[in-house]
Structures are given as C-alpha cells and as structure tokens.
Amino acid sequence: MTGTAVYLYGVARDLDPAALGGTPGVSGAAVRGVVAGGLTALVSTVRLDDYGEAALRANLEDLAWLEETARAHHEVVDRAAHAAPTAPVRIATLYRDDARVAEILADQRERFGEVLDGIAGRSEWGVKVYASPPEPAEPAGSDPGGGLEPRAEPLTGSRPPKPGAGAGTAYLRRRQDERRRREDAGRRMAERASALHAELAEHAIASRHHPPQDPRLSGRAGTQIMNAAYLLDDEREAGFLAAARAAAGHLEGVELEVTGPWPPYSFIDADTVSAAPAAGDPAS
C-alpha cells in the first residue's frame, strides 16, 4: 500500500500563502492551501506508509517521530498564525484528498468562523510556575552548633528532643516535622500560584490550566505548581508580561517561566473563548 493522504495543519482566514515562505511540513512534505468557503486549509500530502492507521499508531508512540512531527506541525501553524487568524487542528488529522478537505471547510464553515472570530488578534501565552528548590538545610560542616545531628533542627514548631529520648523518637519527630514543613510549603506554593493566576487572568480573555508537566519530560527540577495558558488580545501583551515580570520579582520561592506567543492551541474551543469575562476565574 503506497497510497497517500492529506494531512491538515489548521484553517486560516485571509491567509496569503506567501506568508508560509516555503516552510516544509510534516515528513518534509510541501505545504499548500486548499481554499473553500472563504477559508484556507493548510495541508500536505503524506504517505500512508507513515500516516496510515497502523503506521500512525506506532509512530505516535515513537518519541523521535512524534517530536519531528509536532515541530513541523507547529512550524506551519505558527507561520500562518503570524500572518492571519489561524485555527490549529489537532495533530494527525488526515483526509483522503483535497476534495474531502474542501468539503470539511464547507461543512464546518460556521464552526471555524466562530473559532476564528474568537482568536483573531489574539495569541496564547504560557506561564509555568515552579517552587524553587529548597535551600540546603545545612551548609555541610560549617554549622558550628549542630555537630551531632545529621541535619539542623528547625527552631520553630518542635520541642528540642529531651535529653535521653531515644534516637528512634528523635528520628520520628524529625520525620514528622519534615512532613509538616513540606505540607506547609506546598500550601503556601498553591496559594501563591492561585494569586498569581488571578492577577494574570485579569489581562486575559480566557485562561486554561494544563496538567503539570512530568519532570521527566520537562527535564526541570523543582515542583511545577502551575502550568497555565492565557489568551491575550495582542495589545494587552505588554501589560501581561509586565505583570508576570513583576510577580516574578516579588513572589518568594517560586520561579516563573513564560512562553509565547503561541498560536491559540489551547483556546480553539468556542465555549472557552466565548466564556470571555474570565477575570479572576481560577477554576478549571
């Protein structure tokens, strides 16, 4: 079977195809536009060898393949989004041929129209917040007081071990204190994250929380306490970034990472976007 299929990246309105500037698509395929109903679908022809059902199922679980495809998909969508309102479609959406794509454009014209209305002149920004790694408990060897203990005891919240108390008791108490400390720290972090979110959301049309990233995929130490996306009117970007910068300066114990502008991947849901006055809505 060496047939082909048509891979769809996204749907744009009033897109000048020249804006893509010859960006290659997935698997290095050329990208072209299928125009119908006033919309332009960005597509590539791909081989069923790679994108047929069985092949795709296997390929999607191959990290290298997935990465390459995701980056290519994003590159195309990103280029288009800088030039015209563009609604990305989910990765690996495939059709038989251009005629079918044109049919989809015609069938779904209204839906795409709504989505595009919701994102025109807007971009997505990502904000990730990490709890800073805790200060090392003791500066190994330079602590004059704590000679016998493996770890300096905190002065708050716990009675010093009674002389003569068993080593086991001391150990258990230390474990307990440590756990309490961790829980308190966790709570404080969550409060900070939600205050920060409320502040940032004031600048945004809509917001959405992504699940915290797996540290093994992100390669980041430190607990991720927030992974949010914000849909911003282009003219509010500066204010949003200033707010993020200010927050990064005055929030203790957290690190902020801002990414963007993104094509509005997280906000193509007509519901999300039209639920506009998202001011301070920490939910979802």
Partner 1 sequence: MTAALEAGAGAPAQRIALVDLLDRLLAGGVVITGDLVISVADVDLVQISLRALITTVRDELLPEGES
| Binding stretches for partner 1 (CB under 8 A) | 5, 8, 10-11, 51-53, 56-57, 60-61, 63, 66-67, 70-71, 73-74, 82, 87-96, 100, 104, 108, 111-112, 115, 124, 126, 132, 210, 213-214, 216-218, 227, 229, 237, 241, 244-245, 248-249, 251-262, 265-268
Q: Give the nearer residue to partner 1 in terms of CB position, either 5 or 225.
A: 5
| Rounded least distance, CB 15 to partner 1, Å | 16
- Report, in Å, the least distance between residue 100 CB and partner 1: 6
Structure tokens that stand for 112 in this block: 């795409």
CB 37 within 8 A of CB 113: no
Judged by CB, which is closer to partner 1: 120, or 161? 120
Q: Which residues contact 168 (CB under 8 A, 6 or more apart)?
A: none
In the complex with partner 1, which residue's Cβ is closer, 68 or 177? Answer: 68
Question: Closer CB to partner 1, residue 93 or residue 158?
Answer: 93
The residue (of 132 and 158) whose beta carbon lies closer to partner 1 is: 132
* Separation between Cα atoms, residue 236 and residue 261, nearest integer Å: 12
Q: What's the CA gap between 189 and 210, in Å, rounded?
A: 17
Q: How far is the CB of 112 from partner 1 (least distance, A)?
A: 7
Identify whether the C-beta of residue 40 lies closer than 8 Å to the C-beta of residue 32: no
DSSP string spanning 125-186?
EEEEEEEPPPPPSS-TT--SS-SSSSSPPPSSSSPPPPTT--HHHHHHHHHHHHHHHHHHHH
How distant, in Å, are the alpha carbons of 88, 110, 130 from that of 265? 6, 19, 23
| Minimum CB distance to partner 1, residue 89 (Å) | 5
Q: Smallest distance, Å, CB 103 to partner 1?
A: 10
